Amino acid sequence: MKKIFAIAWKDTIVRFASASEWLFFIILPILFTFIFAGGVPTGDEDNRIRLVVVDEAQTAISQEIIRELENSTSVRPDVLSRAEAEEQFDSRRAIALLIIPPDLDVESIQNGTAQMDFRQPPNNMDASIAERAVQTAVRRVSSVVSAANMAVDEAKARGAFESAEAEQAYFNQALELAKSLQEDSPERVTTIQGNTPDDFDYDPQANVSAGQLITWVFIPLFGISALFAYERQGGTLRRVLTTPTSKATFLLGTISGQVAMALIQMTLLVVFAVFAFKLNWGNPLGVFLILACSALAAAAIGTAMGTFIKSEGQATGLSVMAGMMLGMLGGCWFPLELFPPVMQTIAQIFPTTWAMQGLLDLLLRGAGVLEILPEAGVLTVFAGIFFGVGVWRFRFE
Amino acid sequence: MLKLLLIGIKDLKLMFRDRAALILILLAPFLLTLGMGLVTGRFSGGNSGISDIPIVIVNLDKDSLGNALVDVFNSEDLADLVEPTSSEDSEAARLLVDGDEAAAAIIIPAGFTQSVIPQNESAVSNQEITIEFYSNPSRPTSAGIIKAILDGFMARLDEMRLGGLTSISQLIVSGRISPQDANQVGEEMGARLRQNAAGNANEATAIALNTSTSEGEAVEFDALAYFAPGMALMFLMYTVSYGGRSILAEKSQGTLPRLLVSPTDSLQVLGGKVFGIFLTGAAQMLILIGASSLFFQLKWGDAFGVVLLVLAAVFGATGWGMLITALARTPAQVGSVGSAVMLIFAMLGGSFVQLDNLPAFVQTLGRITPNAWAMDGFTTLAFGGTLTSLSTPMLALLTMGILLFSISAVLFGKKNLVQK
């Protein structure tokens, strides 16, 4: 037991010999969690197509058009200066651009000279949808003027006006009447939300906290492979042979030290999420079980990797790459529910998927210890298999 | 100049012979891009944007306006966007939405046309019959688009109805027709309006919309066009810091001062080393771009623009690599700080999550990274942009590079890095 502790302590000293280790141990995980918690897609954000609008008119009519666009269910207007809007459109950061010119007012609509510019890229479905939304908004805003114009035309069809002033007065009266009629217009569409089941449980802060925790803990645990390679390259592993230390004692010491550090790191990240996001992680025993099983599974994979990889440099690179890949494919970066169905099935072979599932069951679904036993069980199986491979293939030289 | 080139090419060769470095320079970004493609459905056809939105229309009205609305959704204009099916059963249509087989159901009740444009009795209907829009809450974007199309149709109807009512009222008030004639005139107008509604629901508005389409080919959104440069740029930062580490490693091993024994001045030695880092970064980016074009059929856009942007991005990134090297004391410090900077820049520069989704202060802070500017440029090119649309990111990257190189040069000078 003393040997195991000594080996674990030695590894801790080696790992934290450089102050920069703190960056990866706690600072970067916290930074990533904090920033991504507010930045990953939640499914609740405004998914309407962004329409860049330049309002050079600044008239009541132009403001009304923008208000109508804001009420649209398909586009969301983003009012910018002309230079900024054109720069965004030209650099393809905006899919559609509406320019309301300075001379747009009631008079221009009345005399038929009112116009606006709409720019779009070729053959773009989103831009076509935006164009349709603009036409609807314009129609709503201009319909009273159109109605007044129509009234004037109908009157003219039954005899000319005495003077231009009489025609204008007729138009003004019709406009007022149209406005009052529009206000009294009945709502002709009733919207009812269907009962489509939505199984997608998502909380950005919970998902990001759990996902970042797993990613940042799996990478250093995979890094056990680098520890083995470092000791093998330096000849220190061979030197252990001269001491009365068995293979099992050495492996247990190395792995337990790394797992203990991982548990400390995870605890710090759990506590951070509690204070920063007021996150309720659920059943403490369940959380400990999932974290411990995840750490064991990741350490086992790192051990197995260490028996295949020859140099420390390769081991470091592969650990980072494997950690990021498994984090991404296991739903730690983006919710698994957003993956294509076939990828959701394939993801079941990754330990990160089960670790994430277990934590989300506790965080979002209020699961107890019994409910997360399947996830803990699968992670333990991962640990068993990879430790088996690691012990079987491990050589001091 | 030749010496500078030789030192640069020697470093490039060394880097590409180092298998451990190749894992993070080429393999990791390539596999992570592949992973992004898999999880976003890029390889399973699940990323083709909004099209073929399934809807169900129940037309119980069977009159001109109900039929006109059905025609709108079956029009050629919407053929790619909407996939409408008809049903006679309102409840069955709702069940299709509940079962997530349709984004929405539009139920046009019997008597709808009559309620909007009454054929008999008075010109103003007292009976309000409303269309039911039964929306699928799990498909908010698709349902929103269908609702917008429906709203467009309703706005046209409302405009016609308003015109009719205003005209008749004004004709009566002005004495042009008698109240007794109102019904007859109203029916004539109603018939015209019905014909108009059935004819073209998208008839021009009172404000002309001058639509212009920009030049270039049509480009569909491709998630990989965002993630592939994101991953490549993230690991570009690894490459430049790795290169910087080699400068300090050579200094501590004594190979750098030894070079000065040869007829090579310190500026040439350092310039050659920096050139080597630049060459490695450019080679890394171009290999990744080539591989993603070959294996993922990813279209990066204008080839000349891509090459220039790669050079500018590598220049900016190399500037950062030099600054880290100039500030660090040991190769290990460059390694760990470089890795941290790689991850932080990837986060701030939008390699993991689109910058638009991140908080405003992160978007602003992200502008110090070459990742953010280069991502802007690559996205612009992928969406069909040309060299002229790259001016801002190119200028920013070049300015960044010049500024960082200048600061690094001063710091290198103070450290006497290449002294005998």
The β-bridge partners of A52 are A78, A97
Quick one: pLDDT band at residue A255, thresholds 50, 70, 90?
confident
Is the pLDDT higher at A153 or at B217?
A153
Q: Do B141 and A48 touch (CB under 8 A)?
A: yes
pLDDT at B279: 92
What is the per-residue pLDDT for B47?
A: 45
Q: Out of A144-148, A364-368, B133-137, B267-271, which region has the weakest mean confidence (pLDDT)?
A: B267-271
Query: B384-419 pLDDT, tens per residue?
Result: 778 888 888 999 999 999 999 999 888 887 776 655
CB spacing of A158 vs B171 below 8 angstroms: yes
* From A116, A119, A121, residue closest to B216, measured CB to CB: A121
Q: How far is B67 from B89, CA to CA, in rounded Å?
A: 16
Can you tell me the ipTM of this complex? 0.70
- Domain at A50-179, CATH from 3.40.190, 1.10.3470, 3.40.1000, 3.40.1580: 3.40.190
For A50, A330, B330, B356, B378, the CA distances from A39, given in Å and listed in that order, are 18, 19, 35, 9, 21
Task: Choose the closest CB to B212 out of A90, A119, A138.
Answer: A119
**B39: chain A residues, CB-CB within 8 Å:** 328-329, 334, 338-340, 343
Q: Is A53 helix (H, G, I), strand (E, B) or coil?
A: strand
Residue of A124, A123, A92 whose CA lies nearest to B386: A92
Question: Which of chain B's residues have a Cβ under 8 Å away from the Cβ of A200?
Answer: 138
Tens of pLDDT, residues A269-290 = 999 999 988 889 989 999 999 9
Whether residues B327 and B195 share a domain: the answer is no
Q: What is the pLDDT of residues B206-262, one digit of tens each?
A: 788 888 877 655 556 677 888 899 999 999 998 998 888 888 887 777 777 777 777
Contact (CB<8Å) B162/A23: no
Q: What are phi and psi of A190, to 5 degrees?
A: -105, 125
Interval A319-344 mean pLDDT: 87
B292, B293, B296, B300 alpha-carbon torsion, rounded to 10°: 90
Between CA A164 and CA A177 the distance in angstroms is 20
Predicted confidence at residue B197, as pLDDT, reads 59
**Number of structural domains chain B divides into:** 2
List of chain B residues whose C-beta atoms are within 8 Å of the C-beta of residue A22? none
- What is the bridge-based pairing of β-strands B131-135 and A189-193? parallel
Q: Could you tell me the pTM of the whole model?
A: 0.71
Residue B275 is assigned to a structural domain of this protein: yes
What's the domain range around B390? Answer: 2-44+221-415
What is the distance between the alpha carbons of residues B107 and B279, in angstroms, rounded to a whole number? 64
Q: List, for residues A160-219, the tens digit of each pLDDT value.
A: 888 888 888 998 899 889 888 888 888 888 989 888 876 666 777 888 999 999 999 998
In DSSP terms, which residues pair with B82 in a beta bridge?
B53
Residue pLDDT, tens place only, B174-186: 888 888 888 788 7
Residues B393 and B363 both lie in one domain: yes
Give dist(CA B58, CA A113) in Å, integer: 40
What's the rounded Cα separation, in Å, for the pair A50 and B403?
Answer: 35
* pLDDT at position B176: 86
Q: In whole angstroms, what is the distance from residue B325 CA to residue B327 CA?
A: 5
Amino acid identity of residue A356, one-letter, is M
Chain A residues with CB inside 8 Å of B376's CB? 91, 93
Q: Which of B18, B23, B131 sits opposite A189 (nearest CB)?
A: B131
Most A CBs within 10 Å, among B165, B168, B170, to test the A interface: B170
Residue B215 in any domain: the answer is: no
Distance CA B190, CA B347 (A): 61
Same domain, B150 and B226: no
Of B28, B148, B171, nearest to A133 by CB-CB distance is B148
Number of other residues whose CB lies within 10 A of the CB of residue A349 = 11
> Highest mean pLDDT: which of A13-22, A373-382, A384-393, B120-129?
A373-382
Q: Judge: A39–B177 Cβ closer than 8 Å, yes or no.
A: no
B206 inside domain: no
Q: For residues B111 and B230, state if they share a domain.
A: no
Q: Give the mutation candidate from A105, A191, A219, A308 for the B interface (greatest B CB count, under 10 A).
A: A191
Across the interface, which of B167, B208, B362 has its CB nearest the CB of A150?
A: B167
- Identify the helix (H) or strand (E) that includes residue B107: strand B104-108
pLDDT the model gives residue B287:
93
pLDDT of residue A39: 60
Q: Are residues B261 and B405 in the same domain?
A: yes
My answer on whether B37 and B57 are in the same domain is: no
Q: Which two tokens stand for residue B120?
A: 């008999």
- What's the CA gap between B356 and B364, in Å, rounded? 11
Do residues B166 and B250 both lie within one domain? no
Q: Is residue B158 part of a domain?
A: yes
Residue A79 has which token pair? 């009012």
How many interchain CB pairs under 8 A, A with B?
Answer: 341
Q: Are B236 and B279 contained in the same domain?
A: yes
